[in-house]
Amino acid sequence: MKDILEAPFLIEMVRTAANMYSHGWDERNGGNISLRLDEADAAQHLDTSAAIRDIPTGFEAPELEGLCFLVTGAGKYFKNIPYDPARNLGIIRIVQGGNTARLLWGLSDGGSFTSELPAHLMSHAARLRADPRQRVVMHCHPSNLLAMTYVHDLDERAFTRTLWQMCTECVMVFPDGVNVLPWMLCGTNEIGRATADKMETARLVVWAQHGIYGAGADLDETFGLIETAEKAAEIYLKIAHLPLKATLSDSAIRQIAAHTGVTPREGWLE
């Protein structure tokens, strides 16, 4: 069996977490990531029939039965992931209809999976229905997007339109726009279900006064999605209080979309 610390999926996870930390998106134990593993890939690096311990999840996710996920641990600091991946990360298999996460590797100090597992797993299920390539759910606290939720209308169309108007790239990167949840208590099944509902129509879901969720086919793509939205929010906060001399018009955004072959969310451009 190959060394798990040399598994491309593990290396990429560690690098991504470190990069998110260095962007300032994951202070202290903020943020969490889950990556759906390919069974054959995982089997090259760990005993996938292992059952180190079973951890109850407190919710059902029958569509995910049998699937394996590499996840960040509850209370773990992204800053520390590169120094001790086996302590700060875990590989779980979803069993008993989603009621149980069977630990196959990691969480070596006896810890548990991320407190946001409901939002992650329910979002995986929702995105898998929309896109079979779906593998990653990523949550973090980027400052500009978070700040924007204090001063911008939280209407999803209005919020998305502002982001699309801030950078030429935005409509190409998230043509489905950004959905927004009002503030809710985190770490619960309720916010998990609400996030997954929002994930049915967009790969980005803002949690007002908290942070953002992104979903995608791989770590790079999902990181890039959040990075692009966060950049747009940064531009917005730089200009929102200044007299506007120019804007990216709906017609310009339509041209960008047509040129790059993406379809902006129906009805979100005038």
* Catalytic residue of the set 116, 156, 230, 234: 116
Of 211 and 216, which CB lies nearer to Zn ion in the complex structure?
211
Distance CA(105)–CA(93), nearest Å, equals: 10
Helix (H) or strand (E) holding 11: helix 8-22
Tokens 């041209």, residue located: 255
Q: Which residues bind ligand 2HA (CB under 6 A)?
A: 29-32, 115-116, 139, 186
Rounded to a whole number of angstroms, the minimum distance from the CB of residue 115 to ligand 2HA is: 5
Rounded to a whole number of angstroms, the minimum distance from the CB of residue 52 to Zn ion is: 26
Of 24 and 30, which CB lies nearer to ligand 2HA in the complex structure?
30
Distance CA(253)–CA(270), nearest Å, equals: 10
Positions 202 through 241 that interact with Zn ion (CB under 5 A): 211
Rounded to a whole number of angstroms, the minimum distance from the CB of residue 30 to Zn ion is: 5
Rounded to a whole number of angstroms, the minimum distance from the CB of residue 48 to Zn ion is: 30
On the 0-12 / 13-18 / 19+ scale of CB atoms within 10 A, 212 is: buried
Of 185 and 244, which CB lies nearer to ligand 2HA in the complex structure?
185
Answer positive or negative: Cα dihedral of 68, 184, 88, 35: positive
Which are the contacts of 178, defined by CB distance < 8 A and separation ≥ 6? 156, 159, 160, 163, 202, 204, 205, 206, 229
Is residue 116 annotated as a catalytic residue, yes or no? yes
Distance CA(7)–CA(26), nearest Å, equals: 24
Of 80 and 108, which CB lies nearer to Zn ion in the complex structure?
80
CB 37 within 8 A of CB 91: yes
**Of 113, 1, 91, the residue nearest 37 (C-alpha):** 91
Count of residues in contact with Zn ion, rule CB under 5 A: 1
Of 30 and 97, which CB lies nearer to ligand 2HA in the complex structure?
30
Rounded to a whole number of angstroms, the minimum distance from the CB of residue 62 to Zn ion is: 26
Dihedral Cα 33, 204, 232, 251, nearest 10 deg: 150
Residue nearest to ligand 2HA (CB): 186
> Which active-site residues does the annotation give?
116
Binding residues (CB under 5 A) for Zn ion: these are: 211
